[in-house]
Structure 1
Amino acid sequence: MSAETDATAAGGLAGEMEVEAYRRLFPLAFLERHLRESVRPDARRLAEARPTTVALGAVSSAHGSALVRLGDTAMLASIKLEVMSPPAETPDQGSVAVEFHMPPICSPLVRPGRPAEAAPVISKALEDVLMSSGMLNLKELCLISGKASWVAYLDVYCLNADGSLFDAALISVVAAFTHLEIPLVSVGDDGRVFTVGGNEGKSKYELVNREKRKLTLGDIPFPLTCALHKDSILADPTAEEESIIETSVTVVLDSSGRLVSIQKPGGGVTSMATIKACIGLAKERGQKLKEILTDSVEAMEVDQAE
């Protein structure tokens, strides 16, 4: 390599180091320099979400599961079904128990031995959206009215936390319920309900449900989180952007375009015009997520047919 080439390479490396140092020392100024050009540090447009992938059936031991990647954020959702006695007030319904997990491996901000502060907040938000959206008909989880029903234990694991955690978590939950298959069950002589496997089991036991089946899902909730800075709306913020921008709005719309929820955890006062703009972006995002989910279901069906 010539001396001139060496000097050019050294200058380029030095320039990159200066940019990275400026980014770390003055993160807000660095971000604002990009926003003035209507672009973001990762080269996305302001309203552009990160690439999203959905893989169904990621956990073979679960009754339903999905792995979702939203940029560098990764979520794994799994559903295990267990037979329980329904509560007296809802004898003909099953139930769903939601828990969101953030192990230390997902982020340097999560300390070993200490539960992440965001985990219970996201757990509650996921449960609220599932129950209020109407996606699930809990009566479909009933086996024998007043005697036996399914409890769906839904566990969501954050494998890598790089922003928009609730969005990635909800997408993985929706995908896992799309993949969920309810197993065959029978009632023993002692009245105990148990699962039945294989064709031999079908012939030996009297079945409560005659075949494995999918849940009939209603309108599906799709989320979009927007970070708000001055006059800029940043769709699907990264962890770096979230650490700089104090105000964010998360909009959840169902697959029919109806508003399910709006969450605004703190930050400055937000105008109604900005909220409407976030809802408009959420509608566009919902359509894209619907296509991604449909493609993942079709891909799974092709794999099963081969």
Structure 2
Amino acid sequence: MDSKTRAIAHEFLPYFRAYRDGHVERFFGSHKVPASMDSSNAVFSKDVVIVPEKGVSARIFIPSAAIKTNQKLPLLVYYHGGGFFMGSPFCSTYHNYVGSLSAKANVIVVSVDYRLAPEHLVPAAYEDSWAALTWVAYPFNINGHGYEAWLNDHADFARVFLAGDSAGGNIVHNMAFQVSFQDLNGIQLAGICLVQPYFGRNDEVVDKCWVFVCPNTSGYNDVRINPAADSRLMSLRCPRVLVCVAEKDNLRDRGLLYYETLKNCGWAGEIEIVETEGEDHVFHLFNPDSEKAVALMDKLASFLNQDNVF
């Protein structure tokens, strides 16, 4: 049976299609570009394995100038988007964007590769994302004896941030929330950035993408997809949050809901929202040199380099 006659279970064209027989076609994020230690680049990158038995890995970026100094840089853990069913830190789109962010903000970035649905349904993505975060925060990292030399020698563990776009923004919230209730080897998050985050809404049927990746969801009251339904939201243990939305994005209102709910729930931190006019979902990934994409990256870089206030 060819692809024209197979029954389709889910599709997100032009990027993804899954069939009921288990066959999956990914048209975005599957092509891997190599990491680079080219001395002519502003950023070095390399790949690391985090959980070999599950295939959890990451690509680490570091400004090349930092290798030659003893300077300690902020550390950003980045989670890619793709609806939980596509995307990769190793594809050219994310490799180029995250590398550029590392150079612009002068930060070390650990860009996480988590398992994807439908081969690995939610909560696999959250489990892998947490495994990567605990790998980064391995206690001996702080004393210079961790898993990764770049982190040992150059990461400032007093300035650890999380960021992600779309489904990655969803993961960022869920990881930060988990840090609020589960010790991360003594590390406190300095801030989180949610770029056009993928959330649900109150009293609304969750969309087909979420049901596809998480068929056992409880619906709109599932706090993983709808943080606004979580009565514990005020317990988020993170001092600063940046939410970025785009005017024409169909997820815009969900990002606004997250912002308004967190701002008004009694949470003690500082939150800011930035809206890009006239742009659609993840515009900055597919047109990174545009004026508005550059402005968004400038905002992220500024957030990652502020001490305690916006």
Answer 1 or 2: higher relative contact order, Cα 8 Å, separation at least 6.
1
Higher helix share: 1
Same-fold status (TM-score > 0.5) = no
TM-score (norm 1): 0.30
Specify the structure having the higher radius of gyration (Cα).
Answer: 1
TM-score (norm 2): 0.29
